[in-house]
Amino acid sequence: MEGVWVGLLAFLTCGYFALAGFDYGVGVLLRVVGRDERSRRVVLRAVTPFFLGNEVWLVAAVGVLFGAFPRLEGELLSSQHTVFSVLLAGLVCFTVAVQLRSPAWDFLLVGGALVVAVSWGVLLGRVLGGPSVLWGAGLLVLFSLHGAVFLAWRLPGELRRRAVRLAVLLVLPCVAFVVAAVFTAGSVAVPAFGLVAVIAVGLLGGAWVALRAERYRVAFACTALVCALPVVAVFGARSVVTVSVMADLSTLRVLTWAAVVVVPLVLAFQWATWWMSRAAR
């Protein structure tokens, strides 16, 4: 039973990084890909059908964290109080700016996305014992790559070419980040961490090849998986999630019926959103 909940928490967190990652990436790159107001609108329109659906993965993950891992939740959040505060402020700014969308608010949109990406990097770095600066920069380039690949897949014409060029440029910095992250990681996690890193480099290579071959969906799948890998690394570092921080079986049993019903439903309906948005193009 405990294993199921560790798995569900990991799944939701991975889902959040893989999906919302491109939201933030697109936010960071908004004014790079969109050189004028008209093209910026086109860029944002590519993301907005998925925006609500992507962000709620975070809400669900934190909900599960609270319900099934109450002692981890309090410990983790309060010990990283300032980073989480900054992250949330950035997240709110980003959401508002996307919603209000006028050129005057773009600094909030780009700035908010940047703050969120860097803050997640800093948090992951702290949990995994790596340098904050490296992880902050690393997640920023990683999410930017993911956003660029998403745009390469979803946009037409000149905007697509621009996104592809950016994505190709960003692959190498991502590889450099992964390698640096392994060499600066605490010794405890290295075996598992090394394996994750090898997979990450492989996927980044795969994304590069797919971009060159104009197989954008494949490239998107690759970068989505890479974005989720840091989460896998955190869960791989066994010391973070243990039974002692979890809720009692009596609580988990109550929560399980809800998860069994809801998670497949959400997956089905989110898939429908993707399918519909594709059919409309």
Partner 1 sequence: MDALGLARLQFATTTSFHFLFVLLTLGLVTVVAVTQTRATLSANPVHARMTRFWGRLYVVNYALGIATGIVMEFQFGLNWSGLSTFAGDVFGAPLALETLVAFFLESTFLGLWIFGWDRLDKWVHLALIWLVTLTAYASAFWIMMANAFLQHPVGHELRDGVLRMVDFSALLANPTFGIAFLHVCFAALTVGGVFLTGVSAYHFIRRTTEVEFFRRSLRLGVVLTAVATPLLVGVGFAQFPIVQEYQPEKLDTVGALDGSGLGFMIQIGFVLLLVSWATVPLLFRDWVVKLRFPLYLMVVGIPLPFVAAIGGWLFREIGRQPWLVQGLLTTSDAVSHVSRDQMLVSFIAFTAVFAVLAIADWVLIARLARRGPVSSDESPVSPLVPAL
Of the candidates 35, 190, 258, 278, which one interacts with partner 1 according to CB under 8 A?
Answer: 258
Choices 18-26, 187-195, 225-233, 260-268 (CB under 8 A): range interacting with partner 1: 260-268
What are the helix (H) ranges across 1-131? 2-33, 37-68, 70-79, 81-100, 106-128
How far is it, in rounded angstroms, from Cα 204 to Cα 218? 11
- C-alpha distances (whole Å) from 83 to each of 87, 107, 119, 132 are 6, 20, 6, 11
**Element counts in the chain: helices (H) and strands (E):** 10, 0
Q: Which residue lies nearer to partner 1 by CB, 239 or 250? A: 250
Residue number, 49 or 131, with CB nearest to partner 1: 49
Q: Do residues 232 and 128 make contact, with C-beta atoms less than 8 angstroms apart? A: no
Considering only residues 216 through 255, tell me which ones interact with partner 1, judged by CB under 8 A: 247-248, 250-251, 254-255
- Considering beta carbons, is residue 124 or 170 the nearer one to partner 1? 124
Mark residues 75-94: x for contact with partner 1 by CB under 8 A, - for none: xxxx--xx-xxx-xx-xxx-
Task: Give the type of residue at 130.
Answer: G
Among 1, 100, 172, 179, binds partner 1 (CB under 8 A): 100
Interacting residues of 4 by C-beta distance below 8 A, sequence separation 6+: 252, 256
Separation of alpha carbons 161 and 167, rounded Å: 10
Which two structure tokens, joined as six digits, stand for 53?
């659906």
Is residue 237 a contact partner of residue 188, using CB atoms and an 8 Å limit?
yes
For residue 203, the minimal CB distance to partner 1 (Å) is: 27
**Which stretch in 97-105, 126-134, 147-155, 183-191 sits in contact with partner 1 by CB under 8 A?**
97-105
How many residues interact with partner 1 (rule CB under 8 A)? Answer: 67
Q: How many CA atoms lie within 13 A of 151 on its CB side?
A: 39
* CA–CA distances in Å: residue 43 to residues 152, 163, 242: 10, 10, 42
Q: Draw the binding track, 36-75, toward partner 1 (x: CB under 8 A; -: no contact).
A: -----x--xx--xxxxxx-xxxxxx-xxxxxxx-xx-xxx
276 binds partner 1 (CB under 8 A): yes
Binding site for partner 1 (CB under 8 A): 41, 44-45, 48-53, 55-60, 62-68, 70-71, 73-78, 81-82, 84-86, 88-89, 91-93, 95-96, 98-101, 247-248, 250-251, 254-255, 258-259, 261-263, 265-266, 269-270, 272-273, 276-277, 279-280
